[in-house]
Amino acid sequence: MEQQDGRGLTLNLERFGAPDSDVLHIATVAVSTWTDITQAIAPVVGARGVFALYERSLHLTRSQHPWLVPSQDGADIRTALAALQTLLAQQDSATAAAGAAAHLQAFYAVLSSLIGSSLSDSLLRSIWENSTNGPAGLDISR
């Protein structure tokens, strides 16, 4: 199994859809990907851990995409994903795709810094490879 790192991640807007594609499709694919991520890593870090990683990556992404606002106090990952879908749907397609992809890239970087890229890849590879929509904005292959 080839080891990946943050440099191996690339923004891939085609997997979200072309810049002129339906923003609702982009939002749905992004949230679906986050749902799959949650299911894949919750057994390792717990539901609160997933939410903490989600929020941290969102915080890191906000410098480039200020419209990606953090969840309200007391929120959980389900509430956060519902809010993310709404935020993405309010953007134009290119902006939504770029923000969603940047958020996923930041998440991968944070997760990899905590558990290593090899374990991160192992946990997430099935999501990228088996998704009917492709890896929703990320391509971890080189």
Among 11-20, 36-45, 61-70, name the one with the lowest average pLDDT: 11-20
Beta-carbon contacts of residue 51 (< 8 Å; ≥ 6 apart): 71, 75, 76, 77, 80
Burial grade of 134 (CB within 10 A; 0-12, 13-18, 19 or more) = middle
- Digit-coded pLDDT (tens) for 53-90: 999 999 999 999 999 998 877 789 999 999 999 999 99
pTM: 0.79
Give the residue extent of every domain in the chain: 6-139
Beta-carbon contacts of residue 66 (< 8 Å; ≥ 6 apart): none
Element (H, E) at 50: helix 23-61
